[in-house]
Amino acid sequence: MRTLVLGGDGYLGWPTAMHLCAAGHEVSVVDNFARRGYDRELGVTTLVPIAPLEQRAWTWQRLTGRRIGIHIGDLTNAEFTHRVLDEVRPDAVVHFAEQRSAPFSMIDQQHAVYTQVNNVVGTLNVLYAIAQVDPTIHLIKLGSMGEYGTPNIDIEEGWLEVTHKGRTDRMLYPKRPGSFYHLSKVHDSHNIEFACRAWNLRATDLNQGIVYGQETSETVLHPDLATRFDYDAVFGTVLNRMVVQAACRQPLTVYGTGRQIRGVLDIRDTVECIRIAAESPPAPGEFRVFNQFTEQFSVLELAQLIARLHPFPVRIELTPNPRAEAAEHYYHAAHRGLLDLGLRPHLLSDTLLESLFVIARRHRRHADPRLFEPTVRWSPAADRVGPAVQSLVA
């Protein structure tokens, strides 16, 4: 099958592109290098160096004999998006191409607006391009478990059967997320569900937990194939960041009480979930939702796990929570769909953490400990007002 990976230069997009290619898909990727741009803007960098996209694809081809097509451009440009889909004519479009950091979206008004415009308009353009080029193309859209927030009832997979005053309906699961980034994905989900209903498109919305790890079977083949390892407070996912803190002999910073519960998954499961979803498409008109995580832990439990297994002693430090979120809450989320389709999870075992410790140790000289500090507050920065939206969509 032919698969187009949007955001194919990113932390998960690049490993997914290789994984699908190794599984026999004809793979093309799209990227506008926005993620590398955020590095420059924030003065941060990936702990593990990454090669330019062209070099990644070239090395991949040299080692495996398989080509990954590259399209450089911005999905907020509708003509570009339409042209790429028309040229590639994929069976599935895997859509990672969104600004994916909650703190980034909360920096100020400009970053909130940029995040929502970039994510929502990109996805709208993908929907129009699919509808116009070939409505049977399967859209696989990366969402986030954070979209649900922390309701006091069980979280189901995207839909909820509601009985009210003696009548019943299957409703979209109500969402109350905690950042303008997560809200952008809630908006996407509503737009996609409408396109499935009104235009008979087919889509899989993958509400992903927090991904940890940095290596897959493909990234380890050559240093040119490595993917990003973000450890800063804006883009670093919590477990990855704390592993680097440990390697740098810094305290593991836990926000608030650390009793916030999160679904997590191994990067090797992310790429496999995408393959599974792509190879088992939903019916035309179906808006299918999977919760893409394998285990749930409190943030404090993750810190304690690292502290327990780390080769030298590390300290856990509770810091005031910069986010607006519940300190303690009920959390029980379904995640049957991908297991039923055959996912065999890598659980958070000593082995994985050991290998992460090795990576962090090997590269720790590149780490800037100042970047561990959460500097983005969830309150609206009173002194920053941005320009009109025009200049934000570049």
Binding site for its own copies (CB under 8 A): 74, 76-80, 82, 109-110, 112-113, 116-117, 120-121, 124-125, 128, 131-132, 151-154, 156, 160, 162-165, 167-169, 171-180, 183, 186-187, 190-191, 193-194, 197-199, 324, 330, 378-380, 382, 385-390, 393
Cβ density class 109-137: b for 16+ within 10 Å, e for less:
eebbbbbbbbbbbbbbbbbbbbeebeeeb
Q: Is the dihedral of CA 249, 364, 96, 12 positive or negative?
A: negative
Residues comprising the chain, all counted? 394
CB of residue 117 vs its own copies: minimum separation in angstroms?
Answer: 6
Nearest to 139 by CA among 123, 154, 152, 150: 123
Pairing of strands 167-172, 210-212: unpaired
CB of residue 327 vs its own copies: minimum separation in angstroms?
Answer: 14
Instruction: Please report, for residues 33, 256, 307, the alpha-carbon distance to residue 328 in angstroms, rounded to integers and kept in the order given.
Output: 37, 10, 22
> E strands of 307-380, at which residues?
316-319
Closer residue to its own copies (CB): 283 or 365:
283
Token reading at 272: 């496999």
Helices (H), the chain: 13-22, 34-42, 53-64, 78-88, 102-105, 109-133, 180-199, 238-247, 267-279, 299-309, 337-340, 350-363
Give the DSSP H or E segment for 204: strand 202-208
Closer residue to its own copies (CB): 130 or 242:
130
Closer residue to its own copies (CB): 205 or 224:
205
Closer residue to its own copies (CB): 215 or 325:
325
Closer residue to its own copies (CB): 125 or 144:
125
Closer residue to its own copies (CB): 160 or 221:
160
Token reading at 17: 């592109």
Contact (Cβ atoms closer than 8 angstroms) between residue 143 and residue 209: no
Phi, psi of 15 (to 5 degrees): -60, -35
CB of residue 78 vs its own copies: minimum separation in angstroms?
Answer: 5
Q: How many CA atoms lie within 13 A of 137 on its CB side?
A: 27
CB of residue 55 vs its own copies: minimum separation in angstroms?
Answer: 28
Closer residue to its own copies (CB): 58 or 128:
128
Closer residue to its own copies (CB): 110 or 355:
110
CB of residue 256 vs its own copies: minimum separation in angstroms?
Answer: 14
CA dist 234 and 313 (Å) reads: 26
Is residue 351 exposed (0-12), middle (13-18) or buried (19+ Cβ within 10 Å)? exposed
Closer residue to its own copies (CB): 193 or 269:
193
CB of residue 103 vs its own copies: minimum separation in angstroms?
Answer: 13
CB of residue 76 vs its own copies: minimum separation in angstroms?
Answer: 5
CB of residue 207 vs its own copies: minimum separation in angstroms?
Answer: 15
Contact (Cβ atoms closer than 8 angstroms) between residue 245 and residue 229: no
Pairing of strands 2-6, 92-95: parallel
CB of residue 330 vs its own copies: minimum separation in angstroms?
Answer: 7
Instruction: Please report, for residues 6, 236, 327, 329, 379, the alpha-carbon distance to residue 257 in angstroms, rounded to integers and kept in the order given.
Output: 37, 20, 6, 12, 19
Closer residue to its own copies (CB): 173 or 372:
173
CB of residue 102 vs its own copies: minimum separation in angstroms?
Answer: 11
CB of residue 140 vs its own copies: minimum separation in angstroms?
Answer: 20
Closer residue to its own copies (CB): 191 or 280:
191
